[in-house]
Amino acid sequence: MKQDLIVILDLGSTSNTVLARAIRELGVYSEIHPHDITVDELKALKNVKGILLNGGENRIVNGQAVEIRPELYDMDIPMLSIDYPQSKCETQLYEIPGQETLKKFIFKECGAEANWNMKNFIEDQVELIRQQVGDRKVLLALSGGVDSSVVAAMLIKAIGQQLVCVHVNHGLMRKNESESVVKVFRDELHANLVYVDASERFLGKLENVADPEQKRKIIGGEFIRVFEEEARKLEGIDFLGQGTIYPDIIESGTKTAKMVKSHHNVGGLPEDLKFELVEPLKQLFKDEVRACGVELGLPYDMVYRQPFPGPGLGVRCLGAITRDRLEAVRESDAILREEFAKAGLDKKVWQYFTVVPDFKSVGMKNNARVFEYMVIIRAINTIDAMTASVEKVDWDVLEKITERILAEVGNVNRVCYDMSPKPPATIEFE
């Protein structure tokens, strides 16, 4: 293994992630593990140079104070306890250590080296994946999103043709998105990729369904069914690759932290599809996942793409989805993205997209009355997607986009800009 490791034991502190990032900023890899980790589990994590017992006021879970296993004190690994008075360490701190104290512990007492970088991380993960998988096969649902794309690239590097990627095109992808997944993964990275064009099947199920929640349920449920059908056709698969990242783990709840929202990376697969999981990104934060993708050679646009909801354009083609409006969403979204990129806004604005509502308005084209759809442009900035403010897009850019949408997108005679912050609006319309 290339990297030294500092382990943070999670005793319920809310500062675990801050601490992990502070250590990584010093160039040393750190991982957060549950407080009740065993000696054997710790030994299995190669190159552990030091352990931080991160206590704090939240150490009480269900009325009981959580403790580490006492055997851990007998291991010959330097330990530092923070706000955990019951610990048997000599070295005790009562607040999160500053950089100098951390440096002293990590480099002097633990003798760790600053050898955390993406190249080493990838080499270590490749070795771990090979150990876990051996000569068996891994299945991966490849949506083309950042996390699944980076996991795919990592697994291709580690096990090549033993990885089977399944890309399901639900017909609600952005313009050229599925084509780009096929081009990058099958043509350039030579992945074993099963491409399933399920567009007709999804659009059929969604016909005349106007309720947003119902639409989401149909898309999610159908996705699992298609994926399951493809998985059953394949022989001898023992593992499922997942693009789980560290924030997913925290939000889904750890032994000491409450659940924020559940994350189903493949949407909750049926019980009888029994797979062991391969999750090589589960200790990374989002910016690190992107850096990992770049190091693995994925295209910039794929790694730095803006967030895109699982149900895709389905939640932007408002009400019951029709093919003409879906096409209007897809084409106007492509124009918006192109013009934002030309204006340099793609690197500045957090999320931007178009929406087409399910009603028409009166207009005039070639001196004749028309009754057509409208396109709404939304461009927002946010830190955590919980609240959002509207980007003040330059008027000339908006005019150019409007001009192009009106000229190039069929059945559209009006373009509007959404001025609503979140709250009270949400980022998406459905």
Site string for ligand XMP, 339-358 (x = CB under 6 A): ------------x-------
In the three-class reduction of DSSP (H, G, I as helix; E, B as strand; rest coil), residue 306 is classed as coil
Provide, rounded to whole angstroms, the least separation between the CB of residue 223 and ligand XMP. Answer: 11
Q: Which of 152, 140, 168, 144 is nearest to 226 (CA)?
A: 168
In degrees and rounded to multiples of 5, residue 59 shows phi and psi of -75, 0
Binding segment (CB under 6 A) for ligand XMP, from list 153-161, 277-285, 304-312, 356-364: 304-312
In this complex, which beta carbon is closest to ligand XMP, that of residue 286 or of residue 422? 422
In this complex, which beta carbon is closest to ligand XMP, that of residue 29 or of residue 353? 353
In degrees and rounded to multiples of 5, residue 341 shows phi and psi of -65, -40
In this complex, which beta carbon is closest to ligand XMP, that of residue 132 or of residue 252? 252
**How many separate helices (H) and strands (E) can be counted in the chain?**
13, 17
> Is the CB of residue 272 less than 8 Å from the CB of residue 283?
no
Interaction between residue 310 and ligand XMP (CB under 6 A): yes
Provide, rounded to whole angstroms, the least separation between the CB of residue 340 and ligand XMP. Answer: 16
Binding segment (CB under 6 A) for ligand XMP, from list 11-19, 235-243, 401-409, 420-428: 420-428
Q: Which of 359, 323, 319, 356 is nearest to 208 (CA)?
A: 319
Site string for ligand XMP, 380-419 (x = CB under 6 A): -----x----------------------------------
Find residue 380's DSSP bridge partners: 351, 390
Q: State the alpha helices, DSSP H only, in 207-309.
A: 212-233, 246-251, 286-295, 300-303
Question: Judged by CB under 6 A, how many residues of this single chain contact ligand XMP?
Answer: 10
Binding segment (CB under 6 A) for ligand XMP, from list 24-32, 75-83, 244-252, 307-315: 307-315
Instruction: State the Cα–Cα distance between residues 130 and 132, nearest whole angstrom.
Output: 5
In this complex, which beta carbon is closest to ligand XMP, that of residue 27 or of residue 421? 421
Site string for ligand XMP, 57-96 (x = CB under 6 A): ----------------------------------------
**Which region, left, alpha or beta, applies to residue 366 given φ > 0 means left and ψ of -120 to 50 means alpha?**
left
Interaction between residue 309 and ligand XMP (CB under 6 A): yes
Q: Which of residues 173-192 bind ligand XMP (CB under 6 A)?
A: none
> Is the CB of residue 423 less than 8 Å from the CB of residue 389?
no
Interaction between residue 422 and ligand XMP (CB under 6 A): yes
The two structure tokens encoding residue 236: 């001898």
Cα torsion 408, 340, 148, 382: sign: negative
Provide, rounded to whole angstroms, the least separation between the CB of residue 309 and ligand XMP. Answer: 3
CB atoms within 10 A of CB 19: 20
In this complex, which beta carbon is closest to ligand XMP, that of residue 380 or of residue 401? 380
The two structure tokens encoding residue 162: 């033993």
State the residues that interact with ligand XMP by CB under 6 A. Answer: 307, 309-311, 351, 385, 422, 426-428
